[in-house]
Amino acid sequence: MIRVGINGYGTIGKRVADAVRDQPDMEVVGVAKTRPNFEAERAVARGYDLYAAIEDRASQFADAGIETAGLVDELVAQSDVVVDATPSGIGAQNKELYEEYDTPALYQGGEDADVADVSFNARGNFDDARNADHVRVVSCNTTGLSRLLAPLREEYGVEKARVTLVRRGGDPGQTSRGPIDDILPNPITLPSHHGPDVNTIFPDLDIDTLGLKVPATLMHMHSVNVTLESEPSADDVRDLLEGESRIFCIPPEFDIDGTGKLKEYAKDLGRPRGDVWENGLWSESVTMEGNDLYLFQAIHQESDVVPENVDAIRAVTDSMDGAESIETTNSALGI
């Protein structure tokens, strides 16, 4: 069993903890958090050992009536792998701690790429992360683009990708974020960071990305153009994408018109927290004009990196190959 510690128990950390616990070859040593809140209460209720991430604030947990198992250093010491799911920038600060205990660590996509030896997407470059000590699981949007571009590159070749990312302004719980009633080019200058980030997975890919922010919380939306090196039919492309386990090709007859109904479908499926781990790709939108492919896909910013973190744990411990890991993760989660 791979012993996994999770440092940071927020949006990503709590989901990764649950996904790790569901795997046949892993166990959760514990989770670390900076301060008590509803998520800390739930962590203990779910049976996770809770470690205080900041020594000076450890007493706050006792004050809130929440039992802790010790400090984060002890969690790192006991773990075969640590998943750092702390806010952007904090992961880089924690690197020293993981090195001190010689514990391989995963970081999230909010960190700069140079925090790690390799940036990771299970479908894109699993082997690059085998036995690495520091691996960065790329962000939700980069994950979604990598999953889509990997099969297109392999099957047809990609001349150029151009993507407009219509991003949700904040998650449902991020009550101080905007915009309200506005559409923001974000950033105004090009490219957005997503294109260069995809290049951490596919260094030789020609990709231009434009980012926007809108008053929505549920999922991101990608308006995708990929100029292919060959001219398959739209049906060919659909067949190819339907064969990808982490792309959910939304059938027209489901009558899912946007991110709201897609999330509702995930809840009807009984998915934990209504998570959509796969890219939600509208089958009907897949269109070929000459060698230009167009399509829409929705990306669940809170959860699509969760199975990728699980696979990255197997990569750094070199305990399975990529295909086997993806299949094991999917099977355990019910993807």
What residues form the annotated binding site?
Answer: 11-12, 110, 139-141, 168, 194-195, 301
State the nearest-atom distance from the C-beta of 218 to a copy of itself, in Å. 7
Q: What is the helix (H) or strand (E) element at residue 327, kind and residue range? A: helix 322-333
| CA distance linking residue 244 with residue 237, whole number of Å | 11
- What would the DSSP string read from start to end of 242-280? HT-TTEEEE-GGG---SHHHHHHHHHHTT-GGG---SEE
Non-local (6+) Cβ contacts of 57 within 8 A are 34, 35
Q: Which of 6, 132, 140, 333 is catalytic?
A: 140
H or E element: which one contains 71? strand 70-71
Contact region for a copy of itself (CB under 8 A) — 69-77, 87-95, 116-124, 216-224? Answer: 216-224
Extract the annotated binding site for NAD(+).
11-12, 110, 168, 301
DSSP 88-153: TTHHHHHHHHHHHTT--EEE-TTS-GGGSSEEE-HHHHGGGGTT-SEEEEPPHHHHHHHHHHHHHH
Q: How far is the CB of 140 from a copy of itself (least distance, A)?
A: 14
Single out the segment in contact with a copy of itself by CB under 8 A; choices: 46-54, 65-73, 251-259, 311-319: 251-259
Identify the three-state secondary structure at position 73.
Answer: helix
Q: Applying CB under 8 A, does 168 fall inside the site for a copy of itself?
A: yes
- Residues 25-84, interacting with a copy of itself (CB under 8 A): none
Q: Which residues pair with 173 in a beta bridge?
A: none
Smallest distance from a copy of itself to CB 250, Å: 9
Q: In this chain, which of 89, 185, 243, 251 binds a copy of itself, going by CB under 8 A?
A: 185
Enter the DSSP assignment of 83.
E
Query: Is residue 245 within the footprint of a copy of itself (CB under 8 A)?
Result: no
Taking the least distance from each CB to a copy of itself, the nearer of 96 and 189 is: 189
Region from 15-23, 25-33, 66-74, 160-168 binding a copy of itself, contact rule CB under 8 A: 160-168
Choose between 90 and 161: whose C-beta lies nearer to a copy of itself: 161
Of 60 and 164, which has the nearer Cβ to a copy of itself?
Answer: 164
Q: Does 217 interact with a copy of itself (rule: CB under 8 A)?
A: yes
Amino acid in the structure at residue 243: G
Residue selected from 199, 223, 291, 330 as contacting a copy of itself according to rule CB under 8 A: 223
Among 183, 196, 269, 318, binds a copy of itself (CB under 8 A): 183
Size of site (CB under 8 A) for a copy of itself = 43
* Owner of token pair 């001190």: 100
Short-list 335, 184, 178, CA closest to 266: 335
Window of 81-89, 98-106, 141-149, 221-229 that interacts with a copy of itself by CB under 8 A: 221-229
- Distance in angstroms (rounded) separating the CA atoms of residues 146 and 163: 12
Residues 23, 316 contacting (CB under 8 angstroms):
no
Q: Decide: 249 and 281 in contact? Cβ < 8 Å.
A: yes
**Residues within window 292-311 making contact with a copy of itself, judged by CB under 8 A:** 292, 294, 296, 298
140 is annotated as an active-site residue: yes
* Span from 8-16, 133-141, 209-217, 301-309 in contact with a copy of itself (CB under 8 A): 209-217
Q: Name the DSSP letter for residue 283.
A: G
Report the nearest approach of a copy of itself to the CB of residue 119 (Å): 22
Q: Of all helices (H) and strands (E), which one includes residue 17?
A: helix 11-21
Which helix (DSSP H) or strand (DSSP E) does residue 326 occupy?
helix 322-333
Active site residues: 140
Residues interacting with a copy of itself, by CB under 8 A? 160, 162, 164, 166, 168, 179, 181-186, 188-191, 208, 210, 212, 214-221, 223, 225, 252, 257-260, 282, 284-285, 287, 289, 292, 294, 296, 298
